Structure 1
Amino acid sequence: MSLAIFTLAALAEIAGCFAVWSVTRLGKPAWWLIPGLACLALFAWLLTRADAAFAGRAFAAYGGIYIAASLAWMWAIEGARPDRFDLIGAALCLGGAALILFAPRSA
């Protein structure tokens, strides 16, 4: 369940940040900030739904998902295909996120 929540959170965060980017860097109208801010609020709320005992651990594990989702966004929305270094870096980050999420821990 955490993986789905992290994926949705990543999409919401990226969409919100992209709205700000679009207004400030691409000259889009300021009203783009309204759905952007809603996406950022959704992102923050979604992270509170992750099954983790500690916020820091949830945020750390989320980071790997965010990186992979950012590269997917770059390809799908911005039309720039990730190169091999992007993909290797994302794989390393996803490995770290998996270790954080699924490591056996005592209470």
Structure 2
Amino acid sequence: MTALAYIGAALAEIAGCFAFWAWLKMGKSIWWLVPGMMSLALFGWLLTLVDTDQAGRAYAAYGGVYITAAIVWLWIIEGVRPDRWDVCGAIVSLAGAAIILLGPRSA
């Protein structure tokens, strides 16, 4: 469930932010902001589904998933193939997210 919440949150956040990018940088209609804001609200809700009691830990671990999703967005949506540094950064960020989320905690 946590993985799905993170993946969904990443897609919702990137889509919402891209709507603002498209409006401001690509000359798209201001109406792009309506689904963009709905997508950002969905992003916030999805992060509450992560199985942890601390918001900061959920957000910190999410960062690695977001970085990886942004690289995938770059490739699939924007048509720019990630280079080795993009891939390496995504791997390192996912490793960091796993350490934060799955590391043993003292009671």
Q: Do both proteins adopt the same fold according to a TM-score greater than 0.5, normalized to the shorter chain?
A: yes
1:39 pairs with 2:33: no
TM-score, length of structure 2 as denominator length: 0.97
Over 2 Å off, 4+ runs: none
List gaps (5 residues or longer) in structure 1: none
Report the TM-score when normalising by structure 1.
0.97
**Identical aligned residues as a percent:** 59
AA partner of residue 90 (structure 2) = A
* CA RMSD of superposed structures (Å): 0.7
Q: How does 1:1-107 map to 2 (within 5 A)?
A: 1-107=1-107
Query: How far apart, CA to CA, are the structure 2 residues paired with 1:37 and 1:81?
Result: 28
Whole-Å separation in 2 of the counterparts to 1:69 and 1:31: 25
**Cα deviation, residue 106, structure 1:** 2.7
**Cα offsets for 1:36-93 (capped at 9, x unmatched):** 0000000001111111110000000000000000000010000001100000011000
**Structure 2 spans left out of the alignment, 5+ residues:** none
Which amino acid in the other structure matches residue 73 of structure 1? Answer: W
The count of corresponding residues between Structure 1 and Structure 2 is: 107
